[in-house]
Amino acid sequence: MANNYLVYSNARVKSMENTFLSNEKIVRMAYSDTLEEGVKVLLESQYGGAVSADATDYEKLLQAEDKRVSEFILDAMPKNCGMETFLIKNDYHNLKALVKGKYMHADDVEYMLMPKGMLDRDELKEYVYNDNYSSLSKIMQQALTDIDAARANGNTSPRFIDLTLEKACYDEIIAFLKKVKAPAILKYWQTNIDLSNVSTFIRGEKTGNPEALKEGFIKGGLLDISYFLGDVNQVIEKLRYSQYSKVADCLRDGDMVAFERIWDNMLLDIFKEKRSDIFSISPIAGFYVAKKIEIKVVRMICIMLKNDIDKDVIKARLRELYA
């Protein structure tokens, strides 16, 4: 029965792949003379479904597309397949926004929220604003309690909120994946954790903040914190002989734009190999990851068009396409 549902879900994914923007459309957007021209490409492609928007409200289109993809995944994914971890990420993003909203006494945080994850957004808001965490997971409860305790002791830093919930998010994801068999999705999150830690280390060293990694280190990857002992050049040299060798050259050259592009491409590559395997979760996961990266790239293009950034700068930030 589970295999039959997986085959059915993967068939549905195939029908959704026509919502990807083609390479020609992405390039056309990137080389548009104005934001209006760029958004016109999205409108012609019915990005976000039937939502209407003008060039000044491109975010409305992107949020609608994000919601459409998340709702599709919620409906299509088999239970305990590992895809739940992507939705857990949405929940923790929403927690960050809601906790900051609570401390700023802001009722309207809708614009900061991502689509529904595993938890209903309105219920999540009620739990946070009423300090009632009992219905949440133990990991979420502990993170929110730690934030409240820090707040009571005078630590109102948004950075502390972000770091605490980010670490809790990955703890929750890895804990979930220990209970299910989803090797490709586990590899995805381990890669994401490791490259997040690499990014934190490099940026901390370059900004003269060597404590950044200690404060922000995320557990659950393949590289433990001892891997980062040494200076920047020593760590980059170690990366050259690891599974992350692709990022070593751009880090040596200080090209963080290329690093982030390769990072996204490496995440996509995890699912590309088995994207046609209808008996695996890879087609569904690959579709979701590719869509999230596409939305990120489209948002970046729109922001750069709005600010009249040089076209070569935009081109350097484009990613490989999954379609």
User: Could you report the per-residue pLDDT of 38-95, keeping only the tens digit for each?
Assistant: 999 999 998 988 677 777 789 989 999 999 999 988 888 888 999 999 999 999 999 9
CA distances in angstroms from 194 to 185, 220, 225, 227, listed in the order given = 14, 8, 10, 10
pTM: 0.91
Residues 6+ positions from 68 with CB-CB distance below 8 Å: 19, 48, 49
67 φ/ψ sector (left φ>0, alpha ψ -120 to 50, else beta):
alpha
Spatial distance between the Cα atoms of 39 and 20, rounded to a whole number of angstroms: 15
- pLDDT tens sequence across 180-226: 999 999 999 999 999 999 999 999 998 999 899 999 999 999 999 99
Q: If you average pLDDT over residues 286-309, what whole number do you get?
A: 92
Residue 265: Cβ-neighbour burial (10 angstroms; 0-12, 13-18, 19+): middle
Does the domain spanning 83-179 belong to CATH 1.20.1690? Answer: yes
Q: What's the confidence (pLDDT) of residue 1?
A: 39
Q: If you average pLDDT over residues 10-36, what whole number do you get?
A: 89
Spatial distance between the Cα atoms of 302 and 120, rounded to a whole number of angstroms: 30
